[in-house]
Amino acid sequence: MKKTLLLLMLLHCIHNLQAEDGYELWLRYKPVENKALLTAYRQAITAVQVSGNSATTVVIKKELALGLNALLQTTIPFVSTPTGNTLIAERGLSENLKDLGTEGFIIRSKTINGKKCTIITANTDIGVLYGVFHFLRLLQTRQSVQSLDIVSTPQTKLRLLNHWDNLNRYVERGYAGISIWNWHTLPDYIDTRYIDYARYNASVGINGTVLNNVNANAEILTPVYLQKVAALATIFRPYGIKVYLSARFSAPMEIGHLKTADPLNDTVQQWWHAKAKEIYALIPDFGGFLVKANSEGQPGPQTYNRNHADGANMMADALAPYGGIVIWRAFVYDAKASDRFKQAYDEFTPLDGKFKTNVLVQVKNGPIDFQPREPFSPLLEAMPHTPLMLEFQLTQEYLGQGTHLVYEAPLFKEILEADNGMVENVVKGIAAVANTGNERNWTAHPFGQANWYALGRLEWDHSLSSSQIADEWIRQTFSNEPKVVNSIKEIMLSSREAIVNYMTPLGLHHIMGNGHHYGPAPWGYNTGRADWNPVYYHKADTAGIGFDRTGLLQYKPSVQQSYAGNEQYLLWFHHVSWLHKMHSGRNLWEELCYKYYAGVDTVKAMQQKWNQLEGSVDEERFRQVKMLLAIQVKEAIWWRNACLLYFQTFSRQPLPANYEQPDHTLEYYKQLNFPYAPGN
Ligand code: GCW
């Protein structure tokens, strides 16, 4: 008797923790384990009525059937008129819909004809879809659905992913395999991944995707490729996702065979008008163009002595008749600039107010380039007459790439909340460089998924905390067990500060290996261009370390002051003596050592916490994360030792004796070489 019982229990455990490959991301819809809660859910949801028959309605029905049946382990019938306790997804109720716009939704518990119902309603089918995903999230995170009164509208209108995917499927700065877009087999072969991609994005409210790399190939605008793009647009449309393309400024020359791409040239203008007409004939709801111009070798209007506004406005005119937009990137810098920090500001602020109304200027979150910590880009507050998009990077080019666990929500929040929320208030849209690839679990590192999730949730609602978002994501992705939720949350919430500390503490920046940006190389000085060399950014010498930007007047005085007094940004703005007294009482050198060691210690603590979860999360993902954390610990130590040994040649002070001493020499670290590091 005892034996049988034991066997049954074992079977039960195995069943719950089946190996998972991570493909389903946060839409796993695992059966509700708690009997009382399951009963409550089953009593609350006995039938579903969905009105309408649009393509989005079909999607809504599919998702509800998939989610509810799996979560509640029973078949919930769809009915044509409300009966019993019914979940209704329908429009046109006399609810207060007027403030919801085209994407907001209401979820409300109501009693209709004596029957308890949950109404999910909106002005559009897409709004209902968002409401349905929200409702399923409540079930997935095991919250009560008895008396709901939720009104939700997105805070940001444009909520985009930017893919840096090339037409040959190589992903620039991609660490999760090759591109998910198989251009060769499109438009005839529709990979189910395309549909799932749309589902996952819609489930967190993402409503647009730029399919190709900003270092763009003009071919994407040829008729053959536009057919392929149209096929993807057709798949994404029912999910409320618009397709955008990165457009190469010189496309009129490359595929149009014109002699110039000068934005003020009539023939060039006509070419873009004709191109827009051709695109909209195929894709009536095409979102628009994203353009990287006159940056890192890309062509642009300056080639013809025109400015960014001339270029952007010319393209915007072509798209305007169809409601399309131009998103013009402000990521510009060149070898001549005295400080890369300043260049975007200097080039763009004189153009404020000069852009057409359907142009948005897209600004990276920081003035340099997606570093572990940057002050917000001063341009974000310096363009009051220009709609702005904010650009983040999900793919972890400078954050440990494919192998480090770094939860980015705290980074996103730090920028959004900067200057008392001024930054979040000025942006009309948020985009992020995608971290997806054809790896089975989409992002290679299982925790890369959390950054994709967090982006969508924060684009919709900036007020969500990093902790709330992590909580939701863990419950849907791993488990609702409090022990598991809490441990993973602790790991996630400590991870961002950890990487700042073991890579670039106290305001250091851009000291990664050249080109691939993998690993530490603070000694790098020979790329032939000052601003591509780490030594340009840290400026260490025997007197001290840091980039003196004290005369920088790009921020308003209050912001300037708050950065000046914040040690987290010390070396961003000041060249400081090694003996400078820090708030902790330590001198700068000691503080630097302290931070680098603290970073490694945090990663070791993350590793320990994870190892304790063995048996509480499925074996497959447990092992993946375990191996990745081991790499992260190793690389954090590498970063710490290499940086401290190098900076020590200037500080000429010892590493505090109570710290674990480096096991290699500086020479050893300097000769490490990674010609095939990925993503470059
Ligand atoms: O961060 C840098 C990357 C480049 C990228 C560029 C950009 C697409 O190293 O790979 O190019 O930024 O944002 O345009």
- pLDDT of res. 3: 46
As a whole number of angstroms, the distance between CA 288 and CA 326 comes to 6
Q: Does the CB atom of residue 514 touch ligand 1 within 6 A?
A: no
- pLDDT of res. 550: 87
For residues 132 and 172, state if they share a domain: no
Mean pLDDT for the stretch of residues 227-235: 98
Domain membership of residue 516 (yes or no) is yes
Whole-number Å distance, alpha carbon 495 to ligand 1 midpoint, is: 24
pLDDT in tens, 421-430: 999 999 999 9
Atom of ligand 1 nearest to the CA of 369: 1
Domain membership of residue 661 (yes or no) is yes
- pLDDT of res. 93: 60
Our mutation pick for probing the ligand 1 site, out of 333, 369, 399, 517, counting the most ligand atoms within 8 A of Cβ, is 369
Whole-number Å distance, alpha carbon 178 to ligand 1 midpoint, is: 17
Whole-number Å distance, alpha carbon 189 to ligand 1 midpoint, is: 31
CA distances from 4 to 10, 11, 17, 18, 615 (A): 10, 10, 20, 21, 22
As a whole number of angstroms, the distance between CA 654 and CA 645 comes to 10
Least confident interval from 16-30, 85-99, 166-180, 280-294: 85-99
For residues 393 and 274, state if they share a domain: yes
Q: Does the CB atom of residue 369 touch ligand 1 within 6 A?
A: yes
What burial letters (b/e) apply to 144-163, b meaning 16+ CB within 10 Å? ebeebeeebbbbbbbbbbbb
Q: In the structure, what pLDDT confidence band is assigned to residue 7 with cuts at 50, 70 and 90?
A: very low
Least confident interval from 52-61, 74-83, 502-511: 74-83
As a whole number of angstroms, the distance between CA 138 and CA 319 comes to 40
Identify the domain containing residue 633 by its residue range. 501-670
Our mutation pick for probing the ligand 1 site, out of 291, 296, 532, counting the most ligand atoms within 8 A of Cβ, is 296
Q: DSSP character for 30?
A: P
- pLDDT of res. 111: 86
Mean pLDDT for the chain overall:
94
For residues 372 and 304, state if they share a domain: yes
CATH code assigned at 608: 3.90.1330.10
Confirm whether pTM is higher than 0.75: yes
- Residues above pLDDT 70, as percent of the chain: 96
Q: Does the CB atom of residue 509 touch ligand 1 within 6 A?
A: no
Whole-number Å distance, alpha carbon 146 to ligand 1 midpoint, is: 48
**Cα 485 from chain centroid (whole Å):** 22
For residues 619 and 659, state if they share a domain: yes
As a whole number of angstroms, the distance between CA 89 and CA 60 comes to 9
Domain membership of residue 478 (yes or no) is no
Q: In the structure, what pLDDT confidence band is assigned to residue 15 with cuts at 50, 70 and 90?
A: very low
Residue type, 472: E
Please determine, for residue 433, whether its predicted confidence score (pLDDT) is greater than 90.
yes
For residues 168 and 148, state if they share a domain: no
- pLDDT of res. 225: 98
Domain membership of residue 38 (yes or no) is yes
For residues 93 and 126, state if they share a domain: yes
Q: 286 with 280: CB under 8 angstroms?
A: yes
**For residue 169, with 0-12 CB atoms within 10 Å meaning exposed, 13-18 middle and 19 or more buried, which class applies?**
middle
Using the 3D structure, point to which of 152, 185, 210 is the last residue of a domain: 152
Atom of ligand 1 nearest to the CA of 298: 14
- Helix (H), strand (E), coil (C) string for 592-649: HHHHHHHHHHHHHHHHHHHHCCECCECHHHHHHHHHHHHHHHHHHHHHHHHHHHHHHH
Q: Does the CB atom of residue 292 touch ligand 1 within 6 A?
A: yes
Mean pLDDT for the stretch of residues 142-151: 96
Q: In the structure, what pLDDT confidence band is assigned to residue 1 with cuts at 50, 70 and 90?
A: very low
Whole-number Å distance, alpha carbon 293 to ligand 1 midpoint, is: 12
Q: Kindly report the protein residue whose alpha carbon is nearest to atom 7 of ligand 1.
A: 331
Domain membership of residue 362 (yes or no) is yes
Domain membership of residue 343 (yes or no) is yes
Q: Does the CB atom of residue 26 touch ligand 1 within 6 A?
A: no
Q: Does the CB atom of residue 453 touch ligand 1 within 6 A?
A: no
- pLDDT of res. 376: 98
Please determine, for residue 291, whether its predicted confidence score (pLDDT) is greater than 50.
yes
The catalytic residue positions are 296, 369, 397
CATH code assigned at 86: 3.30.379.10
462's tokens = 């900036």
- pLDDT of res. 530: 83
Q: In the structure, what pLDDT confidence band is assigned to residue 527 with cuts at 50, 70 and 90?
A: confident
Using the 3D structure, point to which of 464, 487, 518 is the last residue of a domain: 464
Cross-strand partners of 180: none
CATH code assigned at 318: 3.20.20.80
For residues 162 and 139, state if they share a domain: no
- pLDDT of res. 339: 87
* Counted domains in the chain: 3
Mean pLDDT for the stretch of residues 163-185: 98
Domain membership of residue 515 (yes or no) is yes
For residues 185 and 138, state if they share a domain: no
For residues 583 and 448, state if they share a domain: no
- pLDDT of res. 112: 81
For residues 434 and 295, state if they share a domain: yes
Count CB atoms within 10 A of the CB of residue 438: 18
pLDDT in tens, 323-373: 999 999 999 987 777 788 999 999 999 999 999 999 999 999 999 999 999
Mean pLDDT for the stretch of residues 255-261: 98
- Helix (H), strand (E), coil (C) string for 114-157: CEEEEEEECCCHHHHHHHHHHHHHHHHCCCCCCCCEEEECCCCC
As a whole number of angstroms, the distance between CA 615 and CA 400 comes to 27
Please determine, for residue 6, whether its predicted confidence score (pLDDT) is greater than 60.
no
As a whole number of angstroms, the distance between CA 575 and CA 159 comes to 38
Q: In the structure, what pLDDT confidence band is assigned to residue 297 with cuts at 50, 70 and 90?
A: very high
Whole-number Å distance, alpha carbon 317 to ligand 1 midpoint, is: 27
Residue type, 171: V
Q: Does the CB atom of residue 515 touch ligand 1 within 6 A?
A: no
Domain membership of residue 491 (yes or no) is no
For residues 162 and 145, state if they share a domain: no
Mean pLDDT for the stretch of residues 52-73: 96
pLDDT in tens, 383-419: 999 999 999 999 999 999 999 999 999 999 999 999 9
628's tokens = 């990745």
Using DSSP bridges, classify how beta strands 325-329 and 359-364 pair: parallel, antiparallel or unpaired: parallel
pLDDT in tens, 562-597: 998 899 999 999 999 999 999 999 999 999 999 999
As a whole number of angstroms, the distance between CA 349 and CA 663 comes to 49
For residues 396 and 545, state if they share a domain: no
- pLDDT of res. 16: 57
Q: Does the CB atom of residue 680 touch ligand 1 within 6 A?
A: no
Q: Does the CB atom of residue 215 touch ligand 1 within 6 A?
A: yes
Using the 3D structure, point to which of 152, 182, 203 is the last residue of a domain: 152
